[in-house]
Amino acid sequence: MGETTTLGPTTPFTDMDNLAINAIRTLSMDAVQQANSGHPGAPMGLAPLAYTLWNRFLKYDPADPSWPARDRFVLSNGHASMLLYSLLHLAGVKNGPGSTVDSVPMSEIMRFRQLHSRTAGHPESHITAGVETTTGPLGQGIGNAVGMAIAQKWIAATFSKPGFEDLFDFHIYAICGDGCMMEGIASEASSLAGHLQLDNLTLLYDDNTITIEGHTDLAFSENVAARYAAYGWHVLHVEKGNVDTAAIAAALADACQTRGKPTLVDVKTLIGYGAPHKQNTHAAHGEPLGDAEIALAKKFYGWPEDKKFYVPDGVYERFQAGIGQRGATAHAAWSRKFAEYKKQFPELAATFERMQAGELPPGWDQDIPTFPADAKGIATRDSGGTVLNAVAKNVPWLIGGAADLAPSTKTLLKFDGAGAMQAATPAGRNMHFGIREHAMGAIMNGMVLTKVRPYGSGFLIFSDYGRPSIRLAALMEIPVIYIFTHDSIGVGEDGPTHQPIEQVGSLRMIPNLVVIRPADANEVAEAWKAVMPLQHHPVAFALTRQALPTLDRTHYASAAGVARGGYVLADAPDGKPEILLIGTGSEVQLCVAAYEKLTAEGVQARVISLPSWEWFESQPQEYRDSVIPPAVTKRVCVEMASTFGWERYAGATGAIIGMHTFGASAPLKDLLKEFGFSVDTVYAAAKQQLQK
């Protein structure tokens, strides 16, 4: 169990500290007011905490926000985005290594929440340098921070050598609020963090007791500190977070020195601190303060009431002398030491640099198997496990696991040295996320943002539990890999609660997410070859529980067509089909068998395997038309899922064989008969099309 400690005493600010803190507050107020949109109260309350962290503790080089050894700062309560933008501006964070351009110049502060600005309403990591992760949906940042902490532990355990331990040592700080604490994902992620003893993680809880609806006692009365102590966290308290920088600094120092536990700092603050009529009310939470209230707040701060976007002399210099100088010195020392590390451990250094650059090792795909033709076949979850192990063996930073389902999803890494990631063995590559699908997704997002390549798995039906994190991965353009299995009514006796009907279609609706339903083992292998080089797209595999025939590729087209999302698997003898049979995943075998019957009758038929709509739609129109000729309107589309979306491939007159209910609990063979997934059904639909 964790313990709790109260820290103090109260110490007044220095004049320059006070100016810098109030610059954060007033920039936040002015930006929200000018945008006529946003959340000014949290930045006003959190400014002392954020300033103390950034200018006295955070190991961070503003000249290079991608420095691998930097501490990470996550703003989980992303509605307080102006807090982060003000910090990035005042610290002079640049657009990238070697850039002389500020990530958030004053012009961007003044364009807060405007079209094409770098200061979106909630922070977006792929838009603004210095934003470590995209936050907004509450609690996500806590999960991301846990993922970053896990990745740091793995990196340090994998790459550290005697005398070079500090090369890979960094800390993760995350600010969160009451809303984050109410979300279930915070509980999931924090529970795992306690289990893994992530002492490189500090969670700063803005305990202001206010949400949009009003005081938290409307719906939230638990003892958060006791809850985190029960998770196994070290818990600290700061009672006067709006004024007591000494207590804040003491808590941060304590957190940095704590070993064997993550730290929660419960910081009591007043939201909208200094705004006399709105301080510590929900009115300061989600709307501009108004010119009159801003003038009164500025008067309270001793600020020129008529000046907007004002930064007093000495404030920029204060940040330069603090985080700027400290970060530059630390970065330079790190670079010198890493150069020495490269001399002594060139292979490890090369691996680390490839990982940081998102490059794959030479020969990473050399052990991916080619599966022989087999009428009995193999479930794609099984072939997927084989291919995953072949890839992971040669990509040392591919790590992951399952939401307690690895034996069923076949995602356990079994080669020598893979091991389990636990507190005592942080270099293990098998993650055990526990039954925490939502946190798993957010944790993986944090891991990939720290440059390891994570995968996570579960049953496809439970993608619904992790969907918000999947969506954010797509939004951030990060290459997380999801391995979902039990992809259809093929689940059988488990019944409708476990049979995914609408999940594939709903995942296909997420922009930038690649969804892949391979038809056989070789499509699985080829899919992995196309997936691993991706750097800006998350991927969701949908794999079968049941065995699928491994197609004879000397008779049918090469599975390499998977890389284009869809391809002609079997064609009419003259290459001019009169009917198209289009399927994905396990249903392609039905199309192939129906094709053989039709061809034997002299019908000019074509089978199209369409494992990834996203990849197919990204192909040139000429290629897509060559696979699905617009002039051929007689079509049969088959998928054991909702028919939603298939109209684009079936056309106005084509047939769609799919699911229109939630399924049923029965043996697979009975379900296939009940819902019409048979060769005879596909054949009959094709004959009906031909008669039109």
Give the residue numbers annotated as catalytic, written as ranges: 437
184-195 vs 140-159: helix crossing angle, rounded to 10 = 20
Longest CA span, the chain: 91
Rounded Cα distance between 226 and 220, Å, is 14
What stretch of H or E contains 236?
A: strand 234-238
Structure tokens at 44: 């006003």
Strands (E), 40-85: 72-75
Give, in order, the Cα–Cα distances in Å from 368 to each of 241, 262, 384, 453, 667.
55, 39, 11, 18, 33
Rounded Cα distance between 169 and 378, Å, is 44
Helices (H) and strands (E) in the chain, counts: 25, 21
**Type of residue found at 476:** M
Q: Please, what is the end-to-end C-alpha distance for the chain in angstroms?
A: 72
Give the DSSP letter string of 164-177.
-GGGG---EEEEEE
Q: Is 201:149 a contact under the CB 8 Å cutoff?
A: yes
Structure tokens at 109: 């502060």
Q: Coil, strand or helix: which one is 6?
A: strand
Rounded Cα distance between 674 and 99, Å, is 63
Rounded Cα distance between 522 and 612, Å, is 15
Which strands sit side by side in the sheet containing 567-570, from one edge to the other? 567-570, 605-609, 579-583, 635-642, 655-659
What stretch of H or E contains 636?
A: strand 635-642
Q: Coil, strand or helix: which one is 521?
A: helix
Q: Coil, strand or helix: which one is 51?
A: helix
